[in-house]
Structure 1
């Protein structure tokens, strides 16, 4: 929710007077402990504009993870919360390089700013006059028009859209008809056009049959979105793109080899990135790195050498899983802390952990899974594998 900005607030915040006042407010600590004193100081500086100034400074401080230079950006609280993290926006924009791009739900302009850096032309539109006014200042190199996303106001452009996925109560919306604008209506409005739609990671592919490619994108291990691509933009049916804040990235598609054996537990266990799992590309990832599946229906992989740049699990021992046997194995190793990962078994790690009666100085990771019909416990040591080191 946050402060309800007006277009008048935006004009003030972009004026020399507002810019100078924001710089003064930014000198304040703006902590919970100093809140009353800071608000009083802001009111003395800017009177009725104080709330807009304080909110703007606080949002800019929060925005460092979303945009590279937030110091001169304007946001609303909801727009910042919903904005795409910058590395994700940049990775998507790279596929639009050299094209004319129209962001039909541009909001305050984060996705548009990334596209504008590589596009031949960048156009933004939105129905929200305040967000559109903010975007004009945030992305000065783009052209803007106030328009409904379902109204085609450009020709020959790639259409980029990020439909809203929360209702007024803040609950997530998963049905395509509940998105704003609705996904099927968006697809129909731009039939025959190259279309890119940012969606929630959990969207069911069956409800968007018009999407030619589904790309699952993760950042620093967290799956952030499913991106739907149509027309000439689609270069695969399913894709996983894995990004890190340090700039490292890689991608894999269903066009890659998926020759992957099923083998017993080897020296390492690898839990593929969530984007790979959700995209249904576990076998393709395994084939790329010479790994095998423990079970053809389970996403855990095993092999003698882990891929570079991942958190992998060096196997210490493994056996058929029973709670009693696992408790005894952990006791023998003097384990006082255990990370518990579960896939393929009906086990609640939070409920199991206190029953294991962990005591001691050691720490392990416990992988609980099913291999064939056998519930299996694998005790491991988690290790971060460097990008440039092969074990």
Structure 2
């Protein structure tokens, strides 16, 4: 769960001596092997009282570099950093609020609030945790973005006429994820009751039970760099007109595309063709596989499985050129891999109870070539497709 910061820790970390201590510690290796030496250095630099806070801050700042931009002087708690939105994703979501007055009612350490403040007309952030609020004030000052930060309960509105953003806590005290909307803190139904009639966005985990979401919401699933990062629920005028499900794929460097359930979803089911395409996880999680197939002229191998096939894959994706196909039988697969001299084997599985790592050990691939084995169920038959992965 990480170190539990208090307000005295935050005051020290914002002071010149605290800044210097963290800067010195940030230059160390900060590995498990160096832990004892790092602790000793922290005690010498920050004193016994603030050593743990300074060392934890140095560790968290290093972790944050891969998630947030321009955060070299930011303050974090471990939980807050885990739940903070990646900078690219936060900027994407903030665009819907451009030019509006916005209230982030669970602002935590200010990661989303910074993105909102950069595009909003006016921006307010609030939270119940005084330590996170103190960190948010510091972080916003460091980023030089204007936002009012105040202590307030998300379920007791303190603004009027603003669009509202909420990011309920999604882990219990033991750090386990919560998947039911009723288990969020605050619970989703209470947030919806509190802000009924207001334009509202609720950030949530992509594994949330979407069937429990009100039918007037737009559910957006977002991936970044090929990994599903989070989902957002949009209500009121923030929701897309006629849209209930959206997949947004962010590739970095400003590249992005989106797909919604307002698009056609007619696609055939048929035999494998030259290529197999595994849609981005955001498309799969948003339930838009057929819409993706229809957009790109692809077919489904099986109506229950997300693998698609076609003679020409979409541009800019990693697709799999089919070399051989047959029923899934390990003896036949060993011979197939030997025949194609595959030694470095990627195994992808949908619809079958197969452990890729265990199967790879049993197949014992040997050779100098790369290969991808796609395993799936087509009807009642377990099928195997030996492919070569290519970037189209």
TM normalised by structure 2 equals: 0.93
Shift of 1:33: 3.9
Distance in 1, matches of 2:46 and 2:369, equals 57
Q: Where do 5+ consecutive residues of structure 2 fail to align? A: none
1:253 matches 2:260: yes
State the secondary structure of the residue aligned to 2:97.
coil
Q: 1:211 to 1:126 in 2, by over 3 A?
A: farther
Q: Deviations over 1:226-264 (max 9, x none)?
A: 211101111011000111234321111011222322232
Shift of 1:202: 1.3
1:161 matches 2:166: yes
1:205 matches 2:210: yes
State the secondary structure of the residue aligned to 2:230.
strand
For the 8 Å contact 2:101–2:123, the answer to whether it is kept is yes
Q: 1:72 to 1:251 in 2, by over 3 A?
A: same
Distance in 2, matches of 1:378 and 1:37, equals 52
Which residue of structure 2 lines up, in the alignment, with residue 220 of structure 1? 225
Which residue of structure 2 lines up, in the alignment, with residue 172 of structure 1? 177
Shift of 1:352: 2.7
For the 8 Å contact 2:25–2:55, the answer to whether it is kept is yes
Which residue of structure 2 lines up, in the alignment, with residue 115 of structure 1? 116
Which residue of structure 1 lines up, in the alignment, with residue 238 of structure 2? 233
Distance in 2, matches of 1:28 and 1:322, equals 52
Q: 1:34 to 1:336 in 2, by over 3 A?
A: closer
Shift of 1:338: 2.0
Which residue of structure 2 lines up, in the alignment, with residue 296 of structure 1? 303
Q: CA RMSD in A?
A: 1.8
Distance in 1, matches of 2:263 and 2:345, equals 36
For the 8 Å contact 1:187–1:210, the answer to whether it is kept is no
Which residue of structure 2 lines up, in the alignment, with residue 19 of structure 1? 19
Q: Deviations over 1:102-139 (max 9, x none)?
A: 11111101111111111111111111000011001112
For the 8 Å contact 2:249–2:282, the answer to whether it is kept is yes
Which residue of structure 2 lines up, in the alignment, with residue 2 of structure 1? 2
Shift of 1:210: 5.3
For the 8 Å contact 1:184–1:208, the answer to whether it is kept is no
1:268 matches 2:263: no
Shift of 1:276: 0.3
Shift of 1:149: 1.2
Moved more, 204-213 or 2-11: 204-213
Moved more, 312-321 or 178-187: 312-321
Which residue of structure 2 lines up, in the alignment, with residue 355 of structure 1? 362
For the 8 Å contact 2:180–2:209, the answer to whether it is kept is no
Which residue of structure 2 lines up, in the alignment, with residue 389 of structure 1? none
Q: Where do 5+ consecutive residues of structure 1 fail to align? A: 386-391
Moved more, 34-43 or 325-334: 34-43
For the 8 Å contact 1:210–1:230, the answer to whether it is kept is no
1:78-97 matches, within 5 Å, as 78-97=79-98
Distance in 2, matches of 1:345 and 1:103, equals 43
State the secondary structure of the residue aligned to 1:139.
helix
State the secondary structure of the residue aligned to 2:103.
strand
For the 8 Å contact 2:26–2:62, the answer to whether it is kept is no
State the secondary structure of the residue aligned to 2:252.
coil
TM normalised by structure 1 equals: 0.93
Which residue of structure 2 lines up, in the alignment, with residue 287 of structure 1? 294
Distance in 2, matches of 1:282 and 1:300, equals 9
Q: 1:43 to 1:209 in 2, by over 3 A?
A: same
Shift of 1:297: 2.3
Distance in 2, matches of 1:4 and 1:322, equals 53
Q: 1:189 to 1:210 in 2, by over 3 A?
A: farther
1:150 matches 2:155: yes
Moved more, 53-62 or 32-41: 32-41
1:323-334 matches, within 5 Å, as 323-334=330-341
Distance in 2, matches of 1:212 and 1:320, equals 43
1:357-372 matches, within 5 Å, as 357-372=364-379
Shift of 1:72: 1.5
Shift of 1:211: 5.0
